Structure 1
Amino acid sequence: MKQVLNRIQFSRFLSLTLLLVTQLIAFSSFSQDAAAEAAPVEEPAADLGGDPVNGKQLFNQNCAACHALNRKMTGPALANVETRLSENEGLGKEWLYKWIKNSAGMIASGDAYANKIYNEYNQSAMTAFPTLSNEDIDNILAYTAAPAPTPKVAVAATGGGESTSGGGGVSNEIILGALALVFGLLVVMLFLVNNTLRKIAEANGVQVVKEAAKKRTPIWKAFAQNQFLIFCTVIVFLLGSAYFAYSWMSQIGIDQGYAPVQPIHYSHRIHAGVNKIECQYCHSSARVSKHSGIPSLNVCMNCHKSIYEYKGPAEGPSADDLANGYTNEFYTKEIKKLYKAVGWDEQNQQYTGDSQPVEWVRIHNLPDFAYFNHSQHVSVGKIECQTCHGPVEEMEIIYQYSPLTMGWCINCHRETEVQVADNEYYSKIHEELSKKYGVEKLTAAQMGGLECGKCHY
């Protein structure tokens, strides 16, 4: 009996130890979080002679189309332009004021440095900005002279090291070790409690006997002896097999959801969604041709001569983008692939002639025996691209949105109302149908859109 009491006391000791360790872990985690939240973020102040924040907005509105900070584009790089002109050419702000407001006038006046720049950049005068005040120009110069912002990294404890919050928190190794100790103590405590209860029962004359397991008939044997159950199982198996075989064969040639990896990553979400670029700006042949066509790379270069890197939204990439690896650096790397394919020299802003074909992977592909004309649907039918291709403005990676089956096309011909108003192509047809059948709403099916020869010839 004395041994039983000792075991009970030891179990109480383990319980108290478990409680203390748990409180220690909770306190440590709280101190880490509090220290991380209280860590101040300091930014050095600098007198740049203007407001760089306002200057950045003015720069993006007026200068970014031709200039970048740290690289040559249509015009020269503008990082620290005021300092460089002062040190190398002996020119001050007054010269910059005159140049920005009336560059052509300065060239005509015979200014030496103005003509040097004019001749260096293929005798192309800079656009004049007479509406910019001296204060606006000061703000732009302050932005070009401002140091690159240092990214703010959230302070948090990671799985492999100590907290960097400066609050003296406990390392993760200690926390994990304490948790392992807690679980170990819990296992020992449960084992001792079980032994203690058995001892108490035996001390009071109670005999603990394990119940002998009853001998049961094996499931497979009971199933084999039931003929009705076997018959029902065979019927269900045959019907299920026929259903799955029919479903599988019905999906042959249907590539709904197909999203292949392309040689150059192109985000429809950024181009069509964020930047609101019309689908037919790139797929211009959809208006006049059977095919929508793959845009040539020179269409891409209409914009990407100046857009050489992706800066992303002001608030930074979203959590989903970071999880998928869609960072600013990722998109910039894809732009470099475009330059390599088209043979564009970034430094000298000219084509080298060394181009490479891009092997795009086709996504939407109808069978050869099915006829489909884009211009008939886009220009005449005035059907939006999203009707068949889905919300492309939300797709990071384009995929086949619709099944493109015959039944899907027929249902569209039956249900979609043709836009008759201000559409000369259908005005005569609608007039004749209205006279003969009293049709008010016109569909493709009523004009013979269900005839086999319309799509199969």
Structure 2
Amino acid sequence: MKKVLYRHLFSKVLGFSLLLFSASFYAQEEAANATAEDATQEVAADAAGGDPAKGKQIFNQNCAACHALDRKMTGPALANVEQRLSEEEGLDKEWLYAWIKNSPGVIASGDAYANKIYAEYNQAAMTPFPTLSNQDIDDILAYTAAPPSAPAQATAAAAGTGEVGAASGGISNEIILGALALVFGLLVVMLILVNKTLRRIAEANGVILEKEKAEKRVPLWKAFAQNQFLVLMSVIFLLLASAYFAYGWMMQVGVDQGYAPVQPIHFSHKIHAGDNRIECKYCHSSARVSKHSGIPSLNVCMNCHKSIYQYTGNPEGPSAEDLASGYTNEFYTKEIKKLYKAVGWDEENQKYTGEAQPVEWVRIHNLPDFAYFNHSQHVSVAGIECQTCHGPIEEMEIVEQHSPLTMGWCINCHRETNVKVAGNAYYEAIHAELSKKYGVENLTAAMMGGLECGKCHY
């Protein structure tokens, strides 16, 4: 007997052709989009006398904390500011140079418009930027004058009707997709016909295509039941495995390692502590001086989010993992709006309304009442980093309980961790005496009474 193996050559050729066509089509579209974007930037640069790309970078570094292009913040909106000032106030670019480099000096000179802006914005003068050159300011003005970038769909549509249409000889995307569908259908029909023809040829030559030899054998379960040794060993294995898993389950009662609840307002430690490198104790300031680390008040959030009203993300855009999880720029911006609603912040008029709402945060780390733990003793005295107990918090999108927080886990830490006594006057006398007692150079927390029951259970 011989087997006939069919290698579906036609399907492989079809798949490879489709892949090549998709890659070439995508490359044409990307090239058209890049050409259109470059053309837009060149037009904006020629009109404003600067580079919008460089201007965006300078704007984000120096201006974005107080200004936005399309809305009022701590300062006025800056979209088309050069054109607006020229048409409405009769001010030229030289005035802008002087204002940006030394706004208090322009106000002191008695300039009418400068004093008008000064009075309108609560008599708070703009921070002067004497280090910015005229070219830097030209770049910023070019960025503020550049048209807003169109959505990806609109850009693709424009490219499809413009450069892509020209590159493909005027053939629309609908015709191309229709032709591909027709070719695909024809290839499917051809494969079905070829398969039937080959089967008829094989049957005519007496070739067995499918092995239909039924062998009589003892059922597996019956063979197992007849072997007493296997039955005995299986029973012992099941009893031991059941005891092991039952013990493991009972030992996990009250252990919430991995607990990651959903909060009423999403807060990304990955963005704040990771990307922006905000120190943990800036928000959890009570960890330095108190037993508890504390939940930061929303006023701490508003220290930054008075000016940061939307999330623009990394320059390279969100990762594929973030997009799959739904963590887009729009998602984070929506959460900032929830913060504004909770604190009663009028985004349009830049002031508090007094209509605040409490936020019901969900607690993550929760020790039993009979266990005593003092954050200040560990953070300020012992100098332990937050990540020691809370894990890589700067990488967590949603915070979870990283450590088990069990008694054994704490005791092991006290046994293995050396006390930092350098520069700590509190430990100098104790360290000298206990070092003689134990005959060691470095003392662990256990050697200094860290295993006494009354330390944690009082």
Tell me the TM-score normalised to structure 2 length: 0.85
5 Å-filtered alignment, 1:156-195, equals 166=168, 169=176, 171=178, 173-174=181-182, 177-178=185-186, 180-181=188-189, 184-185=192-193, 187-189=195-197, 191-195=199-203
Residue of structure 2 equivalent to 1:108: 108
Deviation at 1:56, TM superposition (A): 1.9
Which digits, 9 at most, give the CA deviation of each residue in 1:397-437, with x for residues without a partner? 11111111111111111111111111122212111112333
SS of aligned partner of 1:337: helix
- The one-letter code sitting in structure 1 at the alignment partner of 2:73 is M
Matched, 1:306 2:296: no
| Inter-partner Cα distance in structure 2 for 1:106 and 1:260 | 53
Deviation at 1:28, TM superposition (A): 4.6
Matched, 1:125 2:125: yes
More displaced 10-residue stretch of structure 1: 124-133 or 310-319:
124-133
5 Å-filtered alignment, 1:346-365, equals 346-365=347-366
Matched, 1:34 2:35: no
Deviation at 1:105, TM superposition (A): 2.9
| Inter-partner Cα distance in structure 2 for 1:115 and 1:211 | 99
Deviation at 1:166, TM superposition (A): 4.2
- The one-letter code sitting in structure 1 at the alignment partner of 2:147 is P
SS of aligned partner of 1:114: helix
Residue of structure 1 equivalent to 2:383: 382
Say if 1:36 and 1:155, in contact at 8 Å, map to a contact too.
Answer: no
| Inter-partner Cα distance in structure 1 for 2:62 and 2:223 | 85
Say if 1:81 and 1:141, in contact at 8 Å, map to a contact too.
Answer: yes
Deviation at 1:150, TM superposition (A): 3.4
Residue of structure 1 equivalent to 2:341: 340
| Cα 1:314–1:437 shift into 2, 3 Å | same
Residue of structure 1 equivalent to 2:161: none
Residue of structure 2 equivalent to 1:317: 318
Structure 1 vs Structure 2 CA RMSD: 2.9
| Inter-partner Cα distance in structure 1 for 2:212 and 2:262 | 62
| Inter-partner Cα distance in structure 2 for 1:194 and 1:340 | 75
| Cα 1:196–1:103 shift into 2, 3 Å | same
| Inter-partner Cα distance in structure 2 for 1:259 and 1:102 | 50
Deviation at 1:175, TM superposition (A): 5.9
| Cα 1:196–1:336 shift into 2, 3 Å | same
| Inter-partner Cα distance in structure 2 for 1:365 and 1:307 | 32
- The one-letter code sitting in structure 2 at the alignment partner of 1:147 is P
Say if 1:52 and 1:140, in contact at 8 Å, map to a contact too.
Answer: yes
Say if 1:21 and 1:178, in contact at 8 Å, map to a contact too.
Answer: no
Deviation at 1:91, TM superposition (A): 2.0
| Inter-partner Cα distance in structure 2 for 1:436 and 1:412 | 21
Which digits, 9 at most, give the CA deviation of each residue in 1:261-289, with x for residues without a partner? 11111111111111111010000011111
Deviation at 1:190, TM superposition (A): 5.2
| Inter-partner Cα distance in structure 2 for 1:327 and 1:118 | 37
Matched, 1:397 2:398: yes
5 Å-filtered alignment, 1:44-193, equals 44=39, 45-46=42-43, 47=46, 48-150=48-150, 166=168, 169=176, 171=178, 173-174=181-182, 177-178=185-186, 180-181=188-189, 184-185=192-193, 187-189=195-197, 191-193=199-201
| Cα 1:21–1:241 shift into 2, 3 Å | closer
| Inter-partner Cα distance in structure 2 for 1:81 and 1:150 | 21
Say if 1:32 and 1:170, in contact at 8 Å, map to a contact too.
Answer: no
- The one-letter code sitting in structure 2 at the alignment partner of 1:368 is D
Which digits, 9 at most, give the CA deviation of each residue in 1:182-223, with x for residues without a partner? 65346424532442233x89xxxxxxx976643x44444444
SS of aligned partner of 1:269: helix
Residue of structure 1 equivalent to 2:443: 442
| Inter-partner Cα distance in structure 2 for 1:218 and 1:134 | 89
SS of aligned partner of 1:231: helix
Deviation at 1:335, TM superposition (A): 0.8
| Cα 1:437–1:226 shift into 2, 3 Å | closer
Say if 2:435 and 2:443, in contact at 8 Å, map to a contact too.
Answer: no
| Inter-partner Cα distance in structure 1 for 2:258 and 2:377 | 25
| Inter-partner Cα distance in structure 2 for 1:22 and 1:415 | 60
| Inter-partner Cα distance in structure 1 for 2:146 and 2:332 | 25
Q: Counting helix residues as a fraction of each chain, which structure ranks higher?
A: 2
| Inter-partner Cα distance in structure 1 for 2:303 and 2:295 | 16
| Cα 1:301–1:178 shift into 2, 3 Å | farther
| Cα 1:99–1:170 shift into 2, 3 Å | closer
Say if 2:292 and 2:375, in contact at 8 Å, map to a contact too.
Answer: yes
Deviation at 1:310, TM superposition (A): 0.9
- The one-letter code sitting in structure 2 at the alignment partner of 1:450 is L
How many residues align? The count is 428
Say if 1:310 and 1:328, in contact at 8 Å, map to a contact too.
Answer: yes
Q: Sequence identity, in percent?
A: 69
| Cα 1:409–1:218 shift into 2, 3 Å | same
Residue of structure 2 equivalent to 1:373: 374
Residue of structure 1 equivalent to 2:240: 239
Say if 1:28 and 1:170, in contact at 8 Å, map to a contact too.
Answer: no
Say if 2:10 and 2:191, in contact at 8 Å, map to a contact too.
Answer: no
Residue of structure 2 equivalent to 1:196: 204
SS of aligned partner of 1:255: coil
| Cα 1:21–1:298 shift into 2, 3 Å | closer
| Inter-partner Cα distance in structure 2 for 1:300 and 1:447 | 40
Residue of structure 2 equivalent to 1:328: 329
Deviation at 1:134, TM superposition (A): 2.8
| Inter-partner Cα distance in structure 2 for 1:444 and 1:80 | 63
SS of aligned partner of 1:448: helix
- The one-letter code sitting in structure 2 at the alignment partner of 1:91 is L
Matched, 1:407 2:408: yes
SS of aligned partner of 2:260: coil
| Inter-partner Cα distance in structure 2 for 1:381 and 1:210 | 75
| Inter-partner Cα distance in structure 1 for 2:14 and 2:232 | 64
Gap runs ≥5 in structure 2: 158-163
Which digits, 9 at most, give the CA deviation of each residue in 1:105-128, with x for residues without a partner? 333333222221111111212222
- The one-letter code sitting in structure 2 at the alignment partner of 1:142 is A
| Inter-partner Cα distance in structure 2 for 1:282 and 1:212 | 73
